[in-house]
Structure 1
């Protein structure tokens, strides 16, 4: 049984609404003012809220604004009840997250049609969300164990070989094997760190205070931070001569470690998916109040569908995947968004350009 909360200070109106909805087999709860409505909404978490705008002490706008700050109640369908509404009032209500308006007096059919429309829309949203969640679970179930087991197995094999043949294997061979095992351990470490970072960023995104805290940081010498990461990545892939840097220095309101992480993931992908001997270009420019970073490679590229489906654990053409569980681009994208920016991808066969835009 779907639960509807009615916040209305006029007792006769509230009573009529409760009777109509009870007759339609809804589980209904009445609240005589905004304060009571807020408490009930947080305790009961209804499927939909009907709320009068003009109420003493705490009006409908304040109720909606407070509920929107709580992730638990922010997505509850919310319908304003009002004796009159002009464009300014409607814009204010919609900016606070209202889903619809009902202007008094309204008929029984108008009330029910509006409610059913909002509940149907919410049901469709819930289905889509569940489908995305199921796909994410499936990706985690398949990708995460597979990608973590590969380097772990390589490390175990090296250790087992050295243990079983330590008397007969020469020192040079042991050094080669341990070097490979160390590389596998670094790969495993990076994958685990990315997994934990992604979970942290998802939690941060729904905490307004944490987001505000992030945006209070600054990187004073962006060129140096970007160049250091780019050069180290080029060395990792033994492609120092493929790296081309064209950077403009400035201060950017982003934590240096997070800027470095964005750059690291984008350049890692650029080298990973482009052939040695082809250029990887890193360029930064200042455009009005925006800092724009371009990372360009001449790899196989991505289709529009692949770009549209950019998300956690997505593998683009997995048969070509070399390493990683596809979190790099997602982490870079999420970081840019947390700082009020965006990440876009423009790709054709033979050329991919990733653009990160951050407000100054």
Structure 2
């Protein structure tokens, strides 16, 4: 309900205006003079003000001047009521910032028409201001991302430069092998960071661009997990996969879902110790609803490692990495989980995380759809 403040010193005129506005569905407030009107405008922050010009002690021009100097009331639409029709009087009001004039006597249709026009224009102004603020915030975020990305990119490059210098002066083969392994690790970290920054940019520029496909999970998922098996075997981790043969087809964006699961499975491998357990299960959950759909498919990735309660709220922040958690020294960009959260939202799913008693579980829930 739109709120309108009427500032009018004549009781009969003020009463009639308030009755008319309330009958039209407005929340109408009355002020008997200019000083009270300024006070009520600051207290209630109405959507529109209707004000008489000729009032004793504190006239309409003074009211408008006071309100336009206050940041809280400066942009409230302001309509003058006046018996004056001289050009100089109209000009004075417009120069002070009035939005419209109604000359007494006026009709009901003229009053409601002026109100409708001003409220419509104010909605457009508010929408434009919101867009401007959104663009300003995006620009701040972009600058922050650029600064932080530049810092993050510089670190692996500096490490690689140092390692190359050490390789030039070290003749011991065993030490050279160690430095080569470190060099490879830093190269992988740099490449991952660059790829994630590109993914982040693409995600921001293609917010609503998805390409749904029908995925037969029994055949698709094993191909996704296969690249992780050599590393799991090398670290002697224990992997258990549960993907029932009767799981129904899933319609989703394949590339987005692949990126989500690759990141979550990769993290499970990275943070699970030697001989630790990793469990991946896919199942239908009829007890949860997403987008009013009764059935969902859940991807649950559980690994034998715990995230401290102090760290858990920050794991989806850009560039955040849990201190001393990467026991295999694989490195990371700190963007992976932020991208996972954004991609899950993009394809209409839910993402949950739990970490307790030495175990961490990420669950991706996606609605089962019937057609592409």
With the shorter chain as reference, the TM-score category is 0.5 to 0.7
Distance 1:173 1:141 in 2: 35
SS of residue in 2 equivalent to 1:107: helix
SS of residue in 2 equivalent to 1:315: coil
Show the 5 A alignment for 1:96-175: 106-117=112-123, 119-120=125-126, 123-124=129-130, 126-127=132-133, 130-131=136-137, 133-142=139-148, 144-165=149-170, 169-175=171-177
Between the two proteins, the alignment pairs up a number of residues equal to 244
Q: How far apart are 1:146 and its partner, in Å?
A: 2.9
1:333 aligns with 2:329: no
Show the 5 A alignment for 1:347-358: 347=355, 351-358=359-366
Distance 1:310 1:118 in 2: 35
Distance 1:126 1:110 in 2: 24
Cα distance, 1:182–1:350 mapped onto 2, change above 3 Å: same
Which residue number in structure 2 is paired with residue 240 of structure 1?
Answer: 237
Which residue number in structure 2 is paired with residue 192 of structure 1?
Answer: 194
Match of 2:301 among 295, 311, 319: 295
Q: How far apart are 1:349 and its partner, in Å?
A: 7.9
Q: How far apart are 1:301 and its partner, in Å?
A: 4.3
Q: How far apart are 1:246 and its partner, in Å?
A: 2.7
Contact 1:139/1:314 (<8 A) preserved: no
1:227 aligns with 2:225: yes
1:215 aligns with 2:223: no
Distance 1:140 1:233 in 2: 33
Distance 1:170 1:304 in 2: 41
Distance 1:153 1:172 in 2: 23
Which residue number in structure 2 is paired with residue 91 of structure 1?
Answer: none
Cα distance, 1:277–1:131 mapped onto 2, change above 3 Å: farther
List alignment gaps of at least 5 residues for structure 1: 1-103
List alignment gaps of at least 5 residues for structure 2: 1-109, 287-294
SS of residue in 2 equivalent to 1:294: strand
Cα distance, 1:296–1:178 mapped onto 2, change above 3 Å: same
Cα distance, 1:219–1:188 mapped onto 2, change above 3 Å: farther
Distance 2:312 2:138 in 1: 16
Distance 1:215 1:105 in 2: 53
Contact 1:303/1:348 (<8 A) preserved: no
Which residue number in structure 1 is paired with residue 251 of structure 2?
Answer: 253
Distance 1:347 1:128 in 2: 35
Q: How far apart are 1:111 and its partner, in Å?
A: 3.5
Q: How far apart are 1:177 and its partner, in Å?
A: 1.7
Contact 1:229/1:264 (<8 A) preserved: no
Q: How far apart are 1:125 and its partner, in Å?
A: 5.9
Contact 1:248/1:286 (<8 A) preserved: no
SS of residue in 2 equivalent to 1:326: coil
**Higher mean displacement: 277-286 or 169-178:** 277-286
TM-score by length of 2: 0.53
Distance 2:309 2:132 in 1: 30
Contact 1:265/1:332 (<8 A) preserved: yes
TM-score by length of 1: 0.55
Cα distance, 1:248–1:222 mapped onto 2, change above 3 Å: farther
SS of residue in 2 equivalent to 1:355: strand
